[in-house]
Each structure stands twice: as structure tokens, then as C-alpha cells.
Chain A
Amino acid sequence: MTGSRALIVLVLGLALSAAAEAAPSGLVLRDDLQREITLPRDPQRIITLVPSLTEIVCALGACGRLVATDEFSNWPAQVKALPKAGGFEDPQIEQIVSLKPDLVLLSRSQRITERLSEFGVVSFALNTESYADIGHSVRAVGLILGLSDRAAHLDAAIEQAVLKIGDEARAKHRGDGPTVYIEVDRGPYAAGPASFIGELLARLGARNIVTANLGPFPRLNPEYVVNHNPEVIFISPAEATSLAERPGWENIRAVKEHRLCSFAPEVRDTIVRPGPRVAEGMRAMADCLARVAP
């Protein structure tokens, strides 16, 4: 009698454990803040708080799953109609929580993860600063959304497009590329090789007058630019007209010969956001360089 009871307990135990394994278990992933997140199986209500992550979600075809984005997400056009949940520095917790999302995708530098978890909202942080982050984020988001295949394709497509544009650009100027100065803000704040746009520039074979040791966005002594005499300057449209007024700058080759690259705001978005449209941005940069470089 004891033997058969033991057998029944064993069989029941095995059956139960089998049943437990068959039941849906959430994905556990480590995010870029080094937290172990248990993700919901098939998140249908997603909020993104960074434009590049919005673009990634939509590039993977999951735009319909977005219930809200941050203020600055503006591509594709349909996300503009979605409710807004604040800016980069000040995401609105109340708005986010009231929309009852399954998942919130945000940047590593946004500091609201603790608050969100107090309300039981699952958040996943991803780095969105460099070129390598694009591939990493695409694959991570694909995994989370259960669209790993599509993500792999997208990743490969982006990589391919970027390499192609880079090769073409480098082929155009056999030898050294043009020297370029990228101004991000009047200061002058320059973009160094460690910044995203600096990386793109390097892939195009151009030479940044800012050296890597100065950091991604150094505030330069204006003299530095005059001394290095860049052949092309990337500048905002508003400043482009007044470059010659800066003392000594009228002697810079790029200013003298009007070799300036300015981008409209929509195009600028593709250049400064490490996201799926990076190839478009690079194409714009390459076209401009081909046009104005000596």
C-alpha cells in the first residue's frame, strides 16, 4: 500500500512540474542598467520615452502596439497622433501609469525606473548613444517583442546600408578625406570622434579636426578651428550666415569657399538619433560632402 501511494505522489509531482513548465513563463533579460527584468510574454501596450526607440519599434512593424511616446518622437507620422508622456528630462509618471502599459522602453540615462516599478510598471532601459547601440537595441527590442527574425533582418540591412554608403564615400576621395569641423552648438561646441555623428563622419572617411581625447562634445577655443582650417563645416542653418562674422573665421577655407553643410530639422533627426534611419542620415551627409568638399 505504501509503495503505490508513493508512486501516485511521484506521478502527480511529475505531472505538476510538467504542467508548470508548459505554462507560459516570462522572458528574463538583463537591461542596460544591469537589472534582471522579467518581461511580459507578448507586450501589447508599449510606451517609448526616447525617439530612437520609437523608431526601432516602428521599424520592426510593431507601431500599432505603441500607446504613447515622448514629446520628441516624430517618425513615422502616425506616432505624432499618440498621447505624449513628457520629454527626455521630465517624463510624466502619472501619464505613463494611467495608460497601464505592459512595458516602458527608455534610455539608460532616464532616472524614473524606480518610480515606475513602485507602480508595478515594467520598464526596460537601453543605451541609445552610439552606432553600436543601434544594433544592440534592435536585437533586444526584437527579442522582447517576439520579433527576433525581423530584428535580425533589420540589423543586417542597416549594417549593410551603412557599409555601402561608407565604401562609396571613401572611394570618391582616393586617399585622405576632407577635414571637417562639426559644430553642434554656438559655444563653440564641437562633435568629436566619440560622438554618434563623429562616428558616422569617420565611416565616410572624412577627418574630424577634433581629436578623440577631447571627448564627445568639447567646448573649443574658437582659435582651434581657425588653426586647423577645416575644408568643410557642418553647421546649423541659423549660424551658417554669421560664420564670417566670427573674428578670424573669414580666413577658414570652409568659410571662404562656402563649403558648409546644413541640414533641415527632419534630416538632422536622422543624423543625431542612433536609430534605424541612420543610413538615411549618412546618405545625407555623404551627399553634402560630395557636393561641397574640395
Chain B
Amino acid sequence: MSVLRPAISILGARRSDADMPHRLGTWVACCLAITLLLTCGSLIIGTSSVETSLGWLFSPDAQSSVVLWQIRLPRTVGAWFAGALLGLSGAIAQGVFRNPLAEPYLLGTASGAALGVTLSLIAADASIGALAWTGKLGITGAACVGACAAIALTIGLSRGVLQTASLLLSGIVVAFLLGAVTSLLLLTKPDLWREMQVFLLGSTGFVSWSSATLLAAAFCVCAVPAVLLARGLDALTLGEDTAQSLGLSLPMLRLTLLGVVSLGTATAVGQVGIVGFVGLVAPHLVRETLSVNHRQLLIGAALCGGALLQAADLLCRWIVRPAELPVGAVTAFVGGSYLTFLLWRRSRDG
């Protein structure tokens, strides 16, 4: 007993750490508050003016109910879950590859999804039979299938998930290859360019309740194993040999976590297109403000990513209303600015 008391006070108590959970609690509460604020904002902001929207909230009619509860709310909820998936995947990717520049698309997911959508659009043009098929699959299905195919190709090229260096390289190669094929295909059908742009720059415009539910389900499926295995990522920061010596099964860890990244990214890309920077910036934001401990980092990155994409969705609807900016352009701008700020601060300090 006597040795435990000083141990607890200095090392931090087991379940109620002196100030760690306090900080975590405050941080999570902040994030949730921001999310709530953004959700309310999303309900009010759209093509109608703020006064009109508030009027709708308090005296609803059939038409405005549709706009508020069938369009604006699922859109913001779906954006949150897509952002959470991307943030979580980004944090995992940065942990598995031990590289702060890793992001969820590094297994070639983005290029694979783009190719899938291109093929689906071309097929829809080509024949009625193909149209029936692509109608069933939809853009979302085609994107998902394309993303998964790209991941399989990457893992196949690098002969398994054991070597992170070769996995990274394969991802780059696959991204370039599939991107080239997509460009070639689009050259033959230039009228598809505008539609592809919509996908390539991300779009939350058509996120319905079924999309939002799908994203939420994917998030739950991804978050559970990720948080369970978070300690493994902590151990990985000590080096692969050390992690192995601590009793970790590196292949199992990598396979499961990369599976989570693949599922999360493929689902997000299928529903909202290619939205960049969220997966890269959210983990960095959390590292700066909260913790590097992966259990907290993964949860934090998910919450942060969700709020980020929600905010981007809000902005893209508000800035040029009633027209709309592509949400990926807004995240690129915001994310790029934040990274520039980080670089500036580092050069100032270092």
C-alpha cells in the first residue's frame, strides 16, 4: 500500500488521472459543442435567408419541413460522419506508417474511386443495358468498388502489408496509374468532365438519410477496432522491433488497421466524393491541442474531422448562395491555410 500511494500521485491515477481526463473531457465537450453549433447553423443556412429559416423552424409547413429535415439535417449529419471517418483513417494512417504526412488516400483509394465513377458514367452513356446496371450500383457503389479494387491492387503490388515502405510506394504507383487511365478515358468523353469534377472535388449536396445512416454504420464498425488497437500504435512509435518485443503481432495490427482505413475511406469517398485535407489536418490539430497518445488521438481526430467537414459543408453552401462551392475546395483552402500556419510557426521557433 505504501508504495502505491506515491506511485498513483506521481504517475497519475489509473482511472481518474489528475488532469489528463479533465483535459480530454474539456476537449471532447468543446468539440461536441462546436458540432452542435454547426448543426444548428446548417439548419438555418441554405438558399433561404436566416430569418426565413428561423421562421420555418418555429412554424413549419410541409415544404419547409422537407428542406429542413430531409435536406439540411441529413446533409450535415452525413458530412459529420464522413469527416469523422476521414479523420480517424488519417490518424490511423499516420500511426501505421509513422509519417505525419500520411493521409487516408495513400493506398490509392481516391484514384480508384475516380476510375470507378468514370467507368460507370461512360457505361451509362454507352448502352441501355449498362445503364440499368450502373443505375443499380450508382455513383456511390461504383466509387466504393473502385476504391476497394485500388486497395487490393496496392496490397498485391507490395506483396502484403508487412513492409510499410513498399506499401507506401505501391500506393503512389497505383494512384498515378489509375489517375492516368482515368484521364485517358475522360479525353474520349469530354462532356463527362464537369460531372467528374463534381466527384473529384467532393460534394455533400445529395447526402440523404440513407447515406448518413450508411456513413454512421461504417463509422461505428471502424471506430471500435481502431480504439481497441490504439495502444499498438503507441507501441509502434517506439520502433517496430520494440513493438514486437512488447508482445504485439505486427502483421495482425497492420492488417486490421489498414482494413479499417480502407473501409472508412472507401465509404466516405463513395458518399461525398474526394475530400482532401480533412484526414491530414484533423490528427495534427489534435496533436497540437490534446495528446499524442493514440487512444485519445484517434477519438479526437474523428471528432475533429467531423466538425471540420461539417464546417466546410456549411461554408460551401453559404459563401455563394444560392449556388454552391465544391466542399473539397473549401477543405483544401482551410486545410492548406492551417498547414501553412504550422510551417510558419515551426520556422519561427526552429
Contacts and interface: CB of A to CB of B under 8 A. Distances in A.
Nearest to A228: B47
B209 interface: yes
Interface residues of A, number: 31
A213 to B, nearest CB: 10
Contacts of B207: 247
A187 B208 contact: no
A186 B74 contact: no
Contact of A226 (B71, B75, B198): B71
Interface in A254-279: none
A53 to B, nearest CB: 18
Given A221-B47, A241-B135, A247 B209 contact: yes
Given A221-B47, A223-B71, A186 B66 contact: no
B66 A224 contact: no
B179 interface: no
B47 A238 contact: no
B323 A247 contact: no
Interface size class of B (residues with CB under 8 A): 35 or more
B257 to A, nearest CB: 33
A187 B190 contact: no
A237 B66 CA distance: 26
A238 B123 CA distance: 10
A251 B70 CA distance: 10
B324 A220 contact: yes
Interface string A84-96: 0001111000000
A238 B124 contact: yes
24 contacts: A185-B194, A185-B198, A187-B203, A215-B323, A219-B323, A219-B326, A220-B323, A221-B205, A222-B71, A222-B205, A223-B47, A223-B322, A224-B322, A226-B66, A227-B47, A237-B131, A242-B135, A246-B208, A247-B71, A247-B74, A247-B206, A247-B207, A248-B67, A251-B70
A235 to B, nearest CB: 13
A215 to B, nearest CB: 8
Nearest to B318: A221
B252 to A, nearest CB: 40
Given A186-B195, A238-B131, A247-B209, 11 more contacts: A87-B187, A185-B195, A187-B205, A219-B323, A221-B46, A221-B205, A221-B323, A222-B205, A226-B66, A247-B70, A251-B66
